[in-house]
Structure 1
Amino acid sequence: QSEPVTAWRIIASQTIDSRIVELIDSKAGLAARALDGEDTEVEATDVQLEALVGILSDSLRSRRR
């Protein structure tokens, strides 16, 4: 594949999914500051990307069984 592909996960406002993303974002930011001494916030897109990669990886593993 020569062109990059962007995958989007749509989070509906005021749903449990959006609250989970907010909690993960805040914990990721706290962890980065505690472990690395960073004062910068972890962006929501980074956390969402990691979550999407995890979901896709789990799906691929379950297909191989």
Structure 2
Amino acid sequence: MRRTDFWERLGEVFGPVYATSVAKDQVFATLGGRTIDRAMAEGEEVHVIWRAVVEQYSDRVPARLR
């Protein structure tokens, strides 16, 4: 998955403004207690980050984006 695909999906799930907030503020246990922004800055694979989003927000992410 490319970063552009990731951000498009995140924006589709949360809306563009809230997606930015989720990336900046939400801590994900499956990312070692990091936010999306920090995990990306530290070189985590984008598909790993997306899986963490899907796991934490399984009720919000539609099946077609999983």
**Same fold, judged at TM 0.5 (above):** no
TM range (shorter): 0.3 to 0.5
Of structures 1 and 2, the larger Rg is shown by 1
The alignment's TM-score, normalised by the length of structure 1, stands at 0.34
